[in-house]
Amino acid sequence: MSMFSATPRNIRNDRIEKAVKALYLAMTLILITPVVMILGVLVQKGMPAVSWAFLTTDPTNGMTAGGIFPALLGTVAIVVVALLASVPIGVAAAIYLSEYAPDTWLTRLINLAIINLAGVPSIVHALFGVGAFVLFFGFGTSILAASLTLAVMTLPVVIVSTRESLQAVPMAFREACWNMGATRWQTIWRVVLPNAISGILTGVILEVSRTAGETAPIMFTGAAFFLPFLPQSVFDQTMAMSLHLFVISTQVPGVPESLPYGVALVLIGMVLAMNSISIVFRIYLRRRKKW
């Protein structure tokens, strides 16, 4: 036997390795297959309804015809305002918990509260939004109230992803800055955040996907069944894609079969477009990393 020949143990380990790889490949295919099937059904049944006029005109004939422009614009407005509200607060909270807060019972309690907040059902967030933003703060049913409700709901995603990204930056980077006389904040601003920005964008991508598709939180706080006009400010109500899809699928009789599928296809396409922009930007930033 050659000294480089595979031993029985090597052969057995190689077989186990191949079996594990095949198992994980099968699990991956099982996860991907339903997504591909759903997209295939949406494209097949929804493409006949999608056109430039569909994207740029208002619903007509009791929402059984026409386009989805008000709902499309309203969804973008809600997502943008929610991002503007949640990302700065979430990133600031993560910086405090990761870089400043000591490991005490209060910090552990805050971390537990963040984890529990991520598990609260969306309908509970909707009721909170009604009580806090619609009634207590007096925003009424508006884009602002709906966006702030979604911002509260998605804060845990931003906080957790940002904190993990900050903690992934090597401690040697911080120590080198401190040895050069930089303050803690200068180190965070100049070194830690630039190296963690790609991970922060991961949380933003997840937030965009969730905020664009939520129905219950905006149904009670800012989204309207139908509006004959576009919102003029964040204090106005608006139509939204997710609620519009729910309405024409369950509440409006005589809707053509292709219309709900077309709305769903556009909604998924919009989310994929927003995510793609963030992913491309994240890849660009990752290539600039120095470690």
Which residue, chain included where needed, has tokens 């702030």? Answer: 148
Q: Where are the domains of the chain?
A: 8-49, 52-287
Report pLDDT for 179.
87
Residue 278 has pLDDT above 90, yes or no: no
pLDDT digits (tens, 9 = 90+) for 101-151: 888 888 889 888 888 888 888 899 999 999 999 999 999 999 999 999 999
Report pLDDT for 2.
55
Alpha carbons 158 and 169: distance in angstroms, whole number: 17
What are the Cα distances from residue 68, in Å, to 82, 133, 253, 260, 262? 21, 27, 17, 11, 10
Q: For the chain, what percent of residues have pLDDT higher than 90? A: 44
Phi, psi of 66 (to 5 degrees): 85, -160
pLDDT digits (tens, 9 = 90+) for 208-243: 888 888 888 998 899 888 887 888 999 999 999 999
Report pLDDT for 251.
86
Q: Which of 129, 135, 149, 162 is nearest to 82 (CA)?
A: 149
* Class in CATH terms, 52-287: mainly alpha
Report pLDDT for 26.
95
Report pLDDT for 291.
58
Report pLDDT for 4.
63
Report pLDDT for 290.
59
Alpha carbons 209 and 221: distance in angstroms, whole number: 19
pLDDT digits (tens, 9 = 90+) for 82-99: 999 999 999 999 999 998
Report pLDDT for 159.
92
Tell me the CB-side half-sphere exposure of residue 96, using CA atoms within 13 A.
11
pTM of the model: 0.86
Report pLDDT for 75.
93
Confidence band (pLDDT; 50, 70, 90) for 23? very high
Report pLDDT for 196.
87
Residue 9 has pLDDT above 90, yes or no: no
Phi, psi of 76 (to 5 degrees): -60, -40
Alpha carbons 153 and 211: distance in angstroms, whole number: 9
Residue 226 CB contacts under 8 Å (≥ 6 apart), including other chains? 59, 63, 239, 247
pLDDT digits (tens, 9 = 90+) for 63-85: 888 889 999 999 999 999 999 99
